[in-house]
Amino acid sequence: MGQKNILVLNSGSSSIKCALFQFASSPQIWSAPIWEKEVEWQNTKSAASIEAQIKTLLVNRSIDLIGHRVVHGGKSYVKTTRIDAKLKAHIRSLETLAPLHNKADLVGIDALARLYPQAPQFAVFDTAFHKTLPEAARVYPGPYQWYEEGIQRFGFHGISFQYCSRKAAEMLGVMPQKMVICHLGSGASLCALQNGVSIDTTMGFTPLEGVMMGTRSGTIDPGILLYLLQSCTPQQIAETLYHKSGLLGISGISSDMRDVLRCAQKADARAQLAIDMYVHRLSCAIGAMSASLQGLDSLVFTGGIGENAEQIRNKVCQKLAFLGISLPQNPQNPGDCILSRSQVQVLLIHTQEAFEIAKECWETFHAIH
Q: What is the mean pLDDT of the chain?
A: 92
Give the pLDDT band of residue 68 (cuts 50, 70, 90).
Answer: very high
Percent of the chain with pLDDT over 90: 76
pLDDT at 148: 96
pLDDT at 41: 62
Do 280 and 320 touch, CB atoms closer than 8 A?
no
- Candidate from 88-97, 172-181, 247-256 with smallest mean pLDDT: 88-97
pLDDT at 330: 73
Helices H, strands E: what count in the chain? 14, 12
User: Is the pLDDT reported for residue 31 higher than 90?
Assistant: no
User: Is the pLDDT reported for residue 273 higher than 90?
Assistant: yes
Residue 139's nearest CA partner among 127, 131, 151, 149 is 151
User: Is the pLDDT reported for residue 47 higher than 80?
Assistant: no
- Candidate from 83-87, 97-101, 233-237 with smallest mean pLDDT: 97-101
User: Is the pLDDT reported for residue 44 higher than 60?
Assistant: no
User: Is the pLDDT reported for residue 69 higher than 70?
Assistant: yes
Edge-to-edge strands, sheet with 188-194: 197-201, 188-194, 178-184, 298-302, 345-348, 337-341
Q: Could you tell me which residues come within 8 angstroms of residue 5 by beta carbon, excluding any fewer than 6 positions away? A: 20, 21, 22, 61, 62, 63, 64, 65
Give the pLDDT band of residue 99 (cuts 50, 70, 90).
Answer: confident
Compare 293 and 103 and report the one with higher pLDDT. 293
The predicted-structure confidence for 208-261, as pLDDT tens digits, reads as follows 999 999 999 999 999 999 999 999 999 999 999 999 999 999 999 999 999 999
Residue 120's nearest CA partner among 58, 61, 51, 65 is 65
User: Is the pLDDT reported for residue 15 higher than 90?
Assistant: no
Q: Where would I find the beta strands (DSSP E) of 109-227? A: 121-125, 178-184, 188-194, 197-201
The predicted-structure confidence for 112-160, as pLDDT tens digits, reads as follows 999 999 999 999 999 999 999 999 999 999 999 999 999 999 999 999 9
Compare 313 and 95 and report the one with higher pLDDT. 313
**Is the alpha carbon torsion for 146, 69, 300, 23 positive or negative?**
positive
Do 192 and 200 touch, CB atoms closer than 8 A?
yes
Residues annotated as catalytic are 126
Q: In the chain, what are the domains?
A: 4-125 (3.30.420.40), 173-348 (3.30.420.40)
By the 10 Å C-beta count (0-12 exposed, 13-18 middle, 19+ buried), 117 is classed as exposed
Percent of the chain with pLDDT over 70: 96
The DSSP 8-state label assigned to residue 26 in this structure reads S
Give the pLDDT band of residue 296 (cuts 50, 70, 90).
Answer: very high
The predicted-structure confidence for 301-341, as pLDDT tens digits, reads as follows 999 999 999 999 999 999 999 999 987 777 777 799 999 99
User: Is the pLDDT reported for residue 164 higher than 90?
Assistant: yes
**Is the alpha carbon torsion for 199, 157, 127, 283 positive or negative?**
positive
The predicted-structure confidence for 181-206, as pLDDT tens digits, reads as follows 999 999 999 999 999 999 999 999 99
Alpha carbon distance 22, 7 (integer Å): 9
Give the pLDDT band of residue 11 (cuts 50, 70, 90).
Answer: confident
Residue 155's nearest CA partner among 178, 181, 186, 123 is 181
User: Is the pLDDT reported for residue 14 higher than 90?
Assistant: no
User: Is the pLDDT reported for residue 294 higher than 80?
Assistant: yes
User: Is the pLDDT reported for residue 43 higher than 80?
Assistant: no
